[in-house]
Amino acid sequence: MASNGAKNFLQQVLNIVTKEGGFDRCISQMRIVSAEKGRCVAEVKLEKEHANRSGAMHGGYTATLVDAVTTLALLTVNQETPGVSVDLNVSYMKAAKTGDEILINAELLKSGKTLAFLSADIVNKETGALIARGSHTKDFGVIIRRSKKTCISEWKM
């Protein structure tokens, strides 16, 4: 998948899932910076809605970013289905605060017949400081085995 084509495709996917409502609305302000085979870089400016009471990025939002952007990286090589999470781990290194712009760099490490192993680093866009590092394992075969109705090719873009 060509770089511009991948970026445009992922931005369309992101727009669809965030406009449908539900939990994915929390990533609606995220933008795709770049995408290529097995990789996705996204950015977001942290707002009050992304913060805990201390004004720092909420840990749950951090985990959501790891989940979302690694899934987008997977979609650059497997556009049939985003799959389901079977493991998600986040190590929190440094706080990010409201107003900070962050980058989420996700990469597909390995993909087999049904499992994909991905990683993501969340960094401060201005300083490059590592905020969090995540790992994500996805089973994209389970949905294919159950139903083809969740294939991305059937989404309205």
* DSSP SS3 for 149: helix
User: In the CATH hierarchy, which top-level class contains the domain 3-152?
Assistant: alpha beta
On the question of pLDDT at 3 being above 70, the answer is: no
Q: 8-58, pLDDT tens digit by residue?
A: 989 998 988 888 878 888 999 999 999 999 999 999 999 999 999 999 999
Question: C-alpha distances in angstroms, 47 versus 23, 82, 98, 102, 152?
Answer: 16, 27, 5, 11, 30
Order of all β-strands in the sheet with 101-111: 31-36, 39-45, 101-111, 115-124, 130-139, 84-92
Q: 75-117, pLDDT tens digit by residue?
A: 998 777 788 999 999 999 999 999 999 999 999 999 988 899 9
Structural domain boundaries in the chain: 3-152
Q: When comparing pLDDT for 154 and 55, which is higher? A: 55
